[in-house]
Amino acid sequence: MKVKVQKKSRVLKGVVVGVAMKDTAVVKVERFVKHPKYKKYSLRFKKYKVNDPGNTAAVGDAVLISECRPISKEKRFRLVGKSAK
């Protein structure tokens, strides 16, 4: 008997930087990374394509995104809601 184990999905906080596509928003997520030798922190960012049915997000909104099953070739996240900056 196999038991399905559901893993916790990642939830990230970012800022919407693009809404040009239908039902899709581009969200920029920033993080700090510590350099292994010099111990200095630097800012890194990554842009994610997010499923946004109805195009509810606007450029500049702070949003929460959650990992989900692949929706298209590049969309693996969905918009959860708006958050405070």
Nearest to 23 by CA among 59, 63, 50: 50
Between CA 49 and CA 1 the distance in angstroms is: 37
Q: Is residue 52 part of a domain?
A: yes
pLDDT band for position 63 (cuts 50, 70, 90): very high
CATH of the domain at 57: 2.40.50.140
Q: Is residue 5 part of a domain?
A: no
pLDDT digit string, tens, across residues 27-61:
999 999 999 999 999 999 999 999 999 999 999 99
Lowest mean pLDDT among 1-5, 31-35, 62-66, 80-84: 1-5
User: What values do phi and psi take at 79, rounded to 5?
Assistant: -75, 125
Q: Is residue 4 part of a domain?
A: no
SS3 55: coil
Q: Is residue 48 part of a domain?
A: yes
Q: Is residue 47 part of a domain?
A: yes
Let me know if 73 is exposed, middle or buried by CB neighbors in 10 A (0-12, 13-18, 19+). Answer: exposed
Q: Is residue 6 part of a domain?
A: no
What's this model's pTM, rounded to 2 decimal places?
Answer: 0.86
Scan for tokens 């958050």, then name that residue: 83
Look at residue 2 in the predicted model and tell me its pLDDT.
Answer: 67
Domain count, the chain: 1
Report the DSSP beta bridge partners of residue 33. Answer: 42
